Amino acid sequence: MPQRQKKEKCPDCEECQLCSESRCRLCRGERCHRGANELGTSFTYGEYLAWKNKKARETGEPAATSEADVASEKVKRPPVLDRSECTDCESCISLLPDIFKRNPDTGCIEVAERAEYPEAEIGQVMSMCPGHCITWQ
């Protein structure tokens, strides 16, 4: 009986539910060409920005986004999330975790109740939402 090789996991294997071909070569028994510090294929836009900013800090390049890039104007009207259109990608949670949260009881993404909401930041999240399910009330 041949001895089984111990599988090492690529950085995105934890996200990969079925280790599909598009996700991880090592899980298919092939050599993984991606380095340990590189971004995998199953990620949200927020995770991509965090990775890009980390790489920028390491190389001394300007960050992909910064607090100075986003205007800090606040509005009282809350954003509304249409659950029927939501793809559950969690990009909104990755980009603004203090505004968008997953309800532990229902499992749905919801908007946190606040007195004011950052208009420019939420506008950015709206433009990046693949389901186009976030609007203003």
pTM (two decimals)? 0.52
- Calculate what percentage of the chain has a pLDDT beyond 70: 58
When pLDDT is averaged across residues 113-132 and rounded to a whole number, the result is: 90
Q: Is the pLDDT of residue 101 over 60?
A: yes
Domain layout of the chain by residue ranges: 67-136
> Which pLDDT score, from 0 to 100, does residue 90 have?
87
40-52: b (≥16 Cβ within 10 Å) or e: bebbbbbbebbbe
Fold exhibited by the domain 67-136:
Alpha-Beta Plaits (3.30.70)
Q: Is the pLDDT of residue 47 over 50?
A: yes
Measured CA to CA, the distance from residue 49 to residue 114 in angstroms comes to 25
Q: Is the pLDDT of residue 80 over 80?
A: yes
Of the two residues 53 and 6, the one the predictor is more confident about is 53
CB-based contacts of 34, cutoff 8 Å, min separation 6: 10, 11, 40
Measured CA to CA, the distance from residue 10 to residue 115 in angstroms comes to 42
**Mean pLDDT over each residue of the chain, to the nearest integer:** 73
> Which pLDDT score, from 0 to 100, does residue 30 have?
59
